[in-house]
Structure 1
Amino acid sequence: MSDKKVLAVFDFDGTITKRDTLPVFIRFAVTLTHLLTGSLFMVPFVLLFKLKVIPNYKAKERLFKTFFAGLSIDKFDNLSRDFVANIEQIVNPVALEKVRWHQQMGHEVIIISASVENWISPWANKYGIKTVLATGLQLKNDTITGNFLSKNCHGPEKVNRLLEKYPERDKYVLYAYGDSNGDKELLALADHAFYRSF
């Protein structure tokens, strides 16, 4: 039996939750008028993304800027805490059961996500998950600029972020759970990889 530390890494959107939390958070956080005007503004950027003219992270950053640039971080964090109840409604109970199993086994549970850390962390804290490696927000005078502080935590960046925090890969056993193309590099790194399964 191995005495190595065990890490259990979960993607968030579509793995722990049943759907992407970004559009759910936008609908929760902004007024209907802002939602409609912002959605119209986003149409050309969505088309450019679909046509592969701009990458995923650029389209996502533009979406975030459209709805949240200029908002104080205090207000955003308050919204994020209030959003926990909405996350609860879309959590996959099978995923949550697996999170709890790992915790009962004494494994360290980690969330790695392309979503914004601010609305994942309050939910994660509720379940005793201390480490959330996700997309960070750039601030200026405690106000959201709309730009991301870190690279969009997607694809190879998930591996980069994990190895930055846990660099000695030979010192731990890695379980990884994901549901999309953005998780393939993380799953390839794992000793035990679970794609759309638990």
Structure 2
Amino acid sequence: MSRRIAFFDFDGTITTKDTMLKMIRYTFGPWKFMIGFMLNSPFIVAYKLGLISNHVAKQQVLRFFFGKLSTEKFNALCREYAEEAIPLVVRAKAMKEIELLKLNGAAVIVVSASPENWLQPWCHANGLQLLATRMQVSNGRITGRIEGLNCHGVEKVRRIREAFDLAQFDHVYCYGDTNGDKPMLELATVSFFKPFR
């Protein structure tokens, strides 16, 4: 029997929305969300203009909103968000594809730039493995910094190769929807760009 493995980007591929933005809005409400993004707009503009990296811009936003929260409180918020809000933005077609892959014996792994804190509860509930951005913790608190590198672009490939020997699989399926997923898609025997639309 052939061995199969499938890697899915999360935001925009499995979901219809960016879950980091939704997590911030869910936690702080629309007014604090808007004010926070206005205050961080120089970093967002600099990223859009290619002056700073995705990693730097994202870390600035995470630090602004979540820095200094206790790990316990942050993870509790993340679990609540994963249970209540993420299912509302999941694409039905994506879930059908995941279930079909699992029925055919494929290992299914979510590979995401979003922090694992809110993706892990959702992945666990759906029987999926996860490779995602890790948040730095210091003295029991979230610093807002990223541990290592943001799981984006070539870092997705590095994390996949670190966790799996792809030579052991006959079929490698990859699903993504942005340029940041293209290095991962190149690993596939079969790739899908912007599926489930």
CA distance in 2, matches of 1:109, 1:31: 33
Q: Which of 2, 18, 28 is matched with 2:16 structurally?
A: 18
Match of 1:63 in 2: 61
Q: Which of 113, 138, 142 is matched with 1:140 structurally?
A: 138
Match of 1:170 in 2: 167
Structure 1 residues 89, 4: closer, same or farther in 2, change over 3 A?
A: same
Match of 1:155 in 2: 153
State the one-letter code of the partner of 2:181: D
Deviation at 1:180, TM superposition (A): 0.7
**Count of equivalent residues:** 194
4+ runs deviating over 2 angstroms: 31-37
State the one-letter code of the partner of 1:136: R
Deviation at 1:6, TM superposition (A): 1.1
State the identity as a percent.
39
CA contact (8 A) 2:3 2:105 kept: no
Give the gaps of 5 or more residues in structure 2.
Answer: none
Match of 2:45 in 1: 47
CA distance in 2, matches of 1:123, 1:135: 15
Q: Does the residue aligned with 2:186 lie in a helix, a strand or coil?
A: helix
Q: Does the residue aligned with 2:78 lie in a helix, a strand or coil?
A: helix
Give the gaps of 5 or more residues in structure 1.
Answer: none
State the one-letter code of the partner of 2:107: E
> Once superposed, what is the RMSD of the aligned Cα atoms?
1.3
Deviation at 1:32, TM superposition (A): 5.0
Is 1:119 matched up with 2:118? yes
Q: Which of 81, 84, 87 is matched with 1:83 structurally?
A: 81
Q: Which of 183, 188, 191 is matched with 2:189 structurally?
A: 191
State the one-letter code of the partner of 1:145: T
Question: Deviation per CA, 1:21-65, whole angstroms, max 9, x where unpaired?
Answer: 111000011255543442222011112112211111110110000
Give the alignment's TM-score, normalised by structure 1: 0.93
CA distance in 1, matches of 2:140, 2:113: 22
Match of 1:5 in 2: 3
State the one-letter code of the partner of 2:166: R
CA distance in 2, matches of 1:47, 1:60: 12
Q: Does the residue aligned with 1:12 lie in a helix, a strand or coil?
A: coil
Q: Does the residue aligned with 1:145 lie in a helix, a strand or coil?
A: strand
Deviation at 1:149, TM superposition (A): 0.6
Give the alignment's TM-score, normalised by structure 2: 0.94
Q: Does the residue aligned with 2:182 lie in a helix, a strand or coil?
A: helix
CA contact (8 A) 2:9 2:181 kept: yes
CA distance in 1, matches of 2:35, 2:49: 23
